[in-house]
Structure 1
Amino acid sequence: MCEIFCFNSDKPKQINECLECFYNHSEEHPHGWGLANMQSNEFVIDKEPIKAACSQHLKEILSNPLVSKNVFAHIRLATMGEIISPNCHPFTELDDNNRSWMLIHNGTIFDYPPLDKYQEIETGDTDSERILLYIIDNINKFEKVKGAPSTIKERFNLIAELIEGLSKGNKVNLMIYDGDLTYIHSNMKDSLYYLKNDDGFLVASTPITDDDGWKPAELNKLFGIIDGNIIFESKEHKNEFIFTEEHEKFLQKSLDSINSGE
């Protein structure tokens, strides 16, 4: 599958060391890398469909201090979609009120028919991009009915409801950013960890520092984070994802098909 990372703080911090440790995992996730640096509500996105360790562009980025309050990163092991730039995370999109959204995903949607219609309009061909389009579609519908932009809490509640539905039978480890709030969700044991320290809030698929404070993310809940603090926490749903032999066979078949087309 993939690995995901985010850093969230109340003050800009230099996080080159964390990112270098994260991207060192690219030998096992060689099909692309992505980096989202949120600066003054501007989404600065860099991504390539190559192994992070082989990217000169990424080396150039990390050769300079990367200082920010909000950073997201992704390394891809393709199980859905070709190895092309449009299939690399992060994905970004505008809603009808011109709010920018970003999403990175570690997991697979094995079955969720409401996503199918977005295959016709997505830029690439991944289930992850379809999740973002589905979320924005529902945000647009909510705000149209309301007749006004949604509040942060309204968006959080709606996304919690959508993710509960998405997570039935599917692995849905997500990081989402809407310009105000960072959303974090995991529904598979031992697949997402967090560290809260003086620098801020770090979340990653595996611990990326030697700190003793890394803890497994609480399962089956959506968390909303601003300035390094959890401000919203949803109710727990019951859709923990258990990886089975059937899932493994499905993903291996998909990976073999993708690799054969490289």
Structure 2
Amino acid sequence: MCQLLGMNCNVPTDICFSFTGFQARGGLTDIHQDGWGIAFFEGRGCRVFLDPRPSTDSPVAELVRSYAIRSLNVIAHIRKATHGDINLENTHPFMRELWGQYWLFAHNGDLKDYAPTPGKRFRPVGSTDSERAFCQILNTLALRYPDGPPPVAELHESLRALAAEIGGFGEFNFLLSNGEVLFAHCASRLSYIIRQAPFAEAHLTDQDVTIDFNQVTTPRDRVAVIATTPLTDNERWETIAPGTLLTFRDGAPVEMQNCATRPFFRPTSCPSP
């Protein structure tokens, strides 16, 4: 099983601590050695780092660990190949433009015999089932909403239905973000934690590393971290029920009933609770 890592915050935050534990799962504490990638939203742009080498042996991963890039939304992936060769074009996360925004996507699972009809706008570059699913999602949304994004609650419902449809071909855990919100779909295994005041110490499961968040945060900070399995062993992580799609904004899940008619883009879009 591939490994997913996502972060959504209310203030730009670095992911160095979580990535230190996550990186170890690419060949040190787990068997995922078929490439890795991480992408950071910065304003309307993205920094994307991809490497088909195992994350534990990757100089690029060491750069990311030591480079405190601050972002509101981050998606990372460690690959265990089930479809497609081990190369750069098959390395997650994948990125495309829709509605004048970059979208990032990473998938964990195996979609068997998944071969949707290629769309006119979005087509895969590599040979993974994951990229095919991403292109299918974006093609469907582009056709359904040609004039721009719908309210976030409507987009959430469209993605939930697409996740169920594509999930009929197999395991479909994924993270998806446009830099404004982060969608997390659990098909089998996904957890999250909300870190906010009062902060405490956290200890990684995969590395003997501890951090005191009181020393590196302010009282107003709020950060949601989403991972395939919990990254720390002394905090309470919430398990996402299979078949659930969560939308994170400003470091917490959004209550969809409060967003039914609100536009998608800031500053008028709905706040998280």
TM-score (norm. length: structure 1): 0.81
Structure 1 unmatched ranges of 5 or more: 235-262
Query: Please, which of 222, 231, 235 is the counterpart of residue 245 of structure 2?
Result: 222
Query: Please, which of 72, 76, 79 is the counterpart of residue 75 of structure 2?
Result: 72
Q: CA deviation at 1:117?
A: 3.0
Once the two structures are superposed, the pairs formed by residues 159-238 of structure 1 within 5 Å of their partners are 159-188=159-188, 191-198=189-196, 199-232=222-255
Structure 2 unmatched ranges of 5 or more: 197-221, 258-273
Q: CA deviation at 1:233?
A: 5.7
TM-score (norm. length: structure 2): 0.78
Structure 1 residue identity aligned to 2:77 = H
> Matched residue of 2:104: which SS?
strand
Structure 1 residue identity aligned to 2:61 = L
Q: Which whole-Å CA distance do the structure 2 matches of 1:148 and 1:195 have between them?
A: 32
Structure 2 residue identity aligned to 1:125 = S
Tell me how many residue pairs correspond in the alignment: 227
Contact 2:41 2:73 in 1 (8 A): yes
Once the two structures are superposed, the pairs formed by residues 26-105 of structure 1 within 5 Å of their partners are 26-27=26-27, 28-95=31-98, 97-105=99-107
> Matched residue of 1:213: which SS?
coil
Q: Name the structure 2 match of 1:249.
A: none
Q: Name the structure 2 match of 1:138.
A: 140
Q: Name the structure 1 match of 2:261.
A: none
Q: Which whole-Å CA distance do the structure 2 matches of 1:13 and 1:211 have between them?
A: 21
Q: CA deviation at 1:62?
A: 1.6
Q: Name the structure 2 match of 1:121.
A: 123
Contact 1:152 1:181 in 2 (8 A): no
Q: Which whole-Å CA distance do the structure 2 matches of 1:228 and 1:219 have between them?
A: 21
Q: CA deviation at 1:215?
A: 2.5
Deviations 1:182-226 (A, max 9, x none): 1111111xx211112214111111111233311221221111110
Residues 223 and 112 of structure 1, relative CA distance in 2, 3 Å threshold: same
Q: Which whole-Å CA distance do the structure 2 matches of 1:25 and 1:19 have between them?
A: 10
Deviations 1:5-59 (A, max 9, x none): 0111101223211101001011111010101111112111110111011111221
Structure 2 residue identity aligned to 1:216 = T
Q: CA deviation at 1:151?
A: 2.7
Moved more, 206-215 or 40-49: 206-215
Residues 59 and 220 of structure 1, relative CA distance in 2, 3 Å threshold: same
Q: Which whole-Å CA distance do the structure 2 matches of 1:11 and 1:98 have between them?
A: 23
Q: Which whole-Å CA distance do the structure 2 matches of 1:100 and 1:232 have between them?
A: 24
Residues 161 and 153 of structure 1, relative CA distance in 2, 3 Å threshold: same
> Once superposed, which parts of structure 1, at least 4 consecutive aligned residues long, lie more than 4 Å away?
none
Q: Which whole-Å CA distance do the structure 2 matches of 1:32 and 1:176 have between them?
A: 19
> Matched residue of 2:229: which SS?
coil
Q: CA deviation at 1:99?
A: 2.4
Q: Which whole-Å CA distance do the structure 1 matches of 2:250 and 2:57 have between them?
A: 33
Q: Name the structure 2 match of 1:246.
A: none
Structure 2 residue identity aligned to 1:182 = L
Q: CA deviation at 1:148?
A: 4.6
Answer 1 or 2: which has greater helix percent.
1
